[in-house]
Amino acid sequence: MSTDTINITLKVWRQKNAADKGRFETIPVSGVDSHMSFLEMLDTVNEKLILEGKDPIAFDNDCREGICGTCGCVVDGIPHGPNKAMTLCQLHMRKFDEGDVIAVEPWRSRAFKVLKDLMVDRGAFDRIIQSGGYVSVNTGSAPDANALPIPMAVAEKAMDAAACIGCGACVAACPNASAMLFVSAKVSQLALLPQGRPEAAERALKMVATMDREGFGNCSNHRSCEAACPKEISIVNIARLNREFFKAGVLSEPI
Amino acid sequence: MQLDGKIPAGPLRDKWDNYRFKAKLVNPANKRKYKLIVVGSGLAGGAAAATLAELGYDVECFCIQDSPRRAHSIAAQGGINAAKNYPNDGDSIWRLFYDTIKGGDFRAREANVYRLAQVSNNIIDQCAAQGVPFAREYGGMLSNRSFGGAQVSRTFYARGQTGQQLLLGAYSALSRQIGAGKVKMHTRRELVDIVLVGDRARGIIARNLVTGEMERFAADAVILATGGYGTVFYLSTNADSCNVGAAFKAYKRGALFANPCFTQIHPTCIPQGGDYQAKLTLMSESLRNDGRIWVPKDPSDTRAPRDIPESDRSYYLEEKYPSFGNLVPRDVASRNAKEQCDAGLGVGPTGYAVYLDFADAIKRDGRDVIARKYGNLFDMYHNISDDDPYETPMMIYPASHYTMGGLWVDYELQTTIPGLFALGEANFSDHGANRLGASALMQGLADGYFVIPYTIGPFLADQGVSEVGVEHQAFADAAAEAAENDRKLLAIEGRRTVRDLHRALGKVMVDEVGMARNEAGLKKAIGAIQALREEFWQNVKVGGEQGNFNLALQKAGRLADYLEFAEVMALDALTRDESCGCHLREEHQTEEHEAQRNDEDFCHVAMWEYTGFGSAPEFHKEPLVFENVELSQRSYK
């Protein structure tokens, strides 16, 4: 590992709270070690701001290994930045060049209110899951785990969908701020597995109804969500959600 | 202090059944009258909150993250153990129990560990029923693998994301109860105090992390499932928000803290780059199945690893442990890596790394096979280090990963404060002095789904419904105390940031209270911790304001806890004048440099009681009685 340092300029979104209008602030950052992660770069900027008596940049993050789904900002117009199939915490400064001006903004969507700077409220995702993203099985009532064989290919497809980390990049990437990729990942995982079949119709209807109520837009097949998804969730899942939703709509009363 | 582990009578196999039969039950119609607070929404907390709500209790659940789906359980990669014996390779509840007790180097309670092994099978059933997409064989049956050197294949997994999938299972069960109005969920909340009325836990004070407000919540019982204290080392594989705060507040209010010096340092992590570094990334130890660990024989060898011939390499694990080789348990692998680096044989820019080499495996099995097995880990390594592990060996170094110590609990998972329970990594109960791979997920879910739902009943039935609400003066007092603490921190206006001081504490802990410890070093550490604590309270610069979002203030509070807790850890390590499991006192080693236990004097749980800020805690012990296993010396030769 060689140590290289670069000088960059951040144009970062600053917003005091949900009621504030917000604006971009320009912060020059010098001597950035190119082996730093993007978030470590923000950490060092914040250290400096604290010592200068200024308000540090608020950004959500936690595991810093791409699995918890907490972090995420739009970097130069791309959710989670330029790395394919990675979260923002996995982005390293070696992706940037000397003199780069980097724009950093929060997820933008009517359903994700900005709380402060780069932090948004993704509670809408939780409420969508609460409306049906589960199998109704109480603790203790499960049969033996091998009582229900599931073909490997089906289990693998369910796992592909289940890999969603709920970060919200799909919504941020979509011109309609649609949550279809997120919803379809959960609907698909559970519709594919026999354990989820009994409630499949009701689940699709309820989750879509909640998604609409929360103010997410509709899907118009831009596929930006799939491109931005750090876990490479496929839009095949959206097709499956549409089938499940259609079947449910034809076969049952709307909710 | 009278300590009662409440271990049920009868033969080991029957204890849990006996307990459940004799336990007082709460009338189903009365359950909704009991309010239960669950702090934490990981495997233990999420499972407990969901299950208790299913039973009919009125549950309020709190998490520090913005959603209960993000608890740090999510980062566990490898798998979860259960004694299903699906592969028909000789596993049993008894063998899982025995392996866990032995793996913990005989410093855990027999009855708790046996119960853990018993309920392990129910966990797999429950998770499969929730739609957790476990790995499967072509015939559709669940797939198992051998993990962490176990001689049976008892580990269930979901690719490299087992923790994520199990957590999302618990999260779905919790979400169902939230949707049904049975659980009230509070996200972005941090526990800042536990409220006691008389000697009993009656509620909590939580900081609303968005508004900065101190909020009050009363309940019939408080359940802590708040994880471990691995971030005391500053750099660890833990998430940013992991902290000892909740457990430490319980300790300050009178709960005993057990075995704080038992901390697990995971051998296969990506080494530190520079001072800016905020965390260390763990790579699954499955890498050790095919990777060979080595260092150059000559400390002054500066050649690129590929240019160092076989004859100039030291495969130190294979040489020292011919039968287990690179698959020795975590503590042994970690300690040996440190030993090599301390001797000047380490590699990389800091000299604190060893090679993990896949060249032989790639030659033997082909690149495709290795890519299929470890592709995602190789990609992750490549992205972080900018080195391609297909071409050049990985560099690895141990990092703090899991903490076996925690709040002391009895068989019912109740702390020494009546009405305060602790689950999962937050308690001390099941892993002894060393945790085996794939056992953390098992314990978290066991406590949450299958233990606490039974063991909280007798307490509630005995006490009756609480009449104490948040209007009680004790809540106002605790909230005022917490706010006053914030005011103090903000008023210091010194010159060092919280991060800077935490980094300094981490260095002391890694150097002296890490993988190998000795009397002189531990005494030095205690002095250094006290000095840092003093500096913190005089020279920290927090910034920002009270009563608003203020991350630095949150972090200052967590560091303040660590600056007291670290001393208890070092004191525990000093007092435990033996080696066992992860705790290696250099004074006590076998001729082969293995942990030398002293069962005569230290076959006990060490517990610490808070006696005031800056004053030495009081020591207590619970003797460990082994009626079913013979205490033997671990050997991996």
Domains, chain B, with CATH or none: 12-24+34-263+402-463 (3.50.50.60), 265-400 (3.90.700.10), 473-612 (1.20.58.100)
Partner residue facing A55 (CB), from B122, B178, B544: B544
Please say whether the beta carbons of A229 and A168 come within 8 A: no
Count of C-beta atoms within a 10 Å radius of residue A28: 10
Instruction: Spell out a b/e string for B120-135, using b for 16 or more CB atoms within 10 Å of the CB, else e.
Output: bbbbbbbbbbbbbbbb
Partner residue facing A94 (CB), from B173, B179, B386: B386
pLDDT of residue A3: 58
Domain A123-251 CATH class label: mainly alpha
Residues of A in contact with B178 (CB under 8 A): 126, 130
Contact A64/B176, CB-based, under 8 Å?
Answer: no
Residues of A in contact with B141 (CB under 8 A): 146, 149
The set of catalytic residues of B is 330
pLDDT of residue B547: 86
pLDDT of residue A2: 47
Q: What percent of chain A has pLDDT over 70?
A: 97
Q: Which of B514, B526, B402, B411 is nearest to B459 (CA)?
A: B411
The residue ranges of chain B whose pLDDT is under 70 are 1-2
d(C-alpha A176, C-alpha A218), whole Å: 6
Query: Which amino acid, B272?
Result: Q
Helix (H) or strand (E) holding B177: helix B162-179
d(CA B278, nearest CA chain A) in Å? 7
Fold classification of A5-113 (topology level): Ubiquitin-like (UB roll) (3.10.20)
Q: Which of B210, B209, B206 is nearest to B191 (CA)?
A: B206
Residues comprising chain B, all counted: 637
Question: What count of CB pairs under 8 Å joins A to B?
Answer: 227
Residues of B in contact with A150 (CB under 8 A): 136, 140
Partner residue facing A136 (CB), from B122, B176, B282: B176
Query: Which amino acid, B295?
Result: V
Residues of chain A with CATH 1.10.1060.10: 123-251
- Measured CA distances, A112 to A18, A116, A168, B51, B429 (Å): 11, 12, 9, 30, 41
Contact A133/B173, CB-based, under 8 Å?
Answer: no
> Which tokens in the block code for residue B273?
């780059």
> Which tokens in the block code for residue A45?
């900027």
Cα dihedral A141, A144, A149, A155 sign: positive
pLDDT in tens, A149-182: 999 999 999 999 999 999 999 999 999 999 999 9
Contact A62/B72, CB-based, under 8 Å?
Answer: yes
Q: Which of A82, A111, A110 is nearest to A97 (CA)?
A: A82
> Which tokens in the block code for residue A76?
């130069």
Residues of chain A with CATH 3.10.20.30: 5-113
Residues of A in contact with B133 (CB under 8 A): 155-156, 158-159, 162, 189, 193
- Residue in chain A lying closest to B500 (CA): A47
Q: Which of residues 61-90 of A touch B (CB under 8 A)?
A: 61-70, 83, 86, 90
- Residue in chain B lying closest to A167 (CA): B70
pLDDT of residue A1: 41
Query: Which amino acid, A143?
Result: P
- Measured CA distances, A168 to A72, A73, A220, B162 (Å): 8, 10, 18, 22
The residue ranges of chain A whose pLDDT is under 70 are 1-3, 252-255
pLDDT of residue B499: 96
* Cβ contacts of B467 within 8 Å, gap of 6 or more: none
Instruction: Spell out a b/e string for B366-378, using b for 16 or more CB atoms within 10 Å of the CB, else e.
Output: eeeebeebbeebb
Please say whether the beta carbons of A165 and A85 come within 8 A: no
> Which tokens in the block code for residue B587?
């004074």
Do strands B221-224 and B420-422 pair parallel, antiparallel, or not at all (unpaired)?
parallel
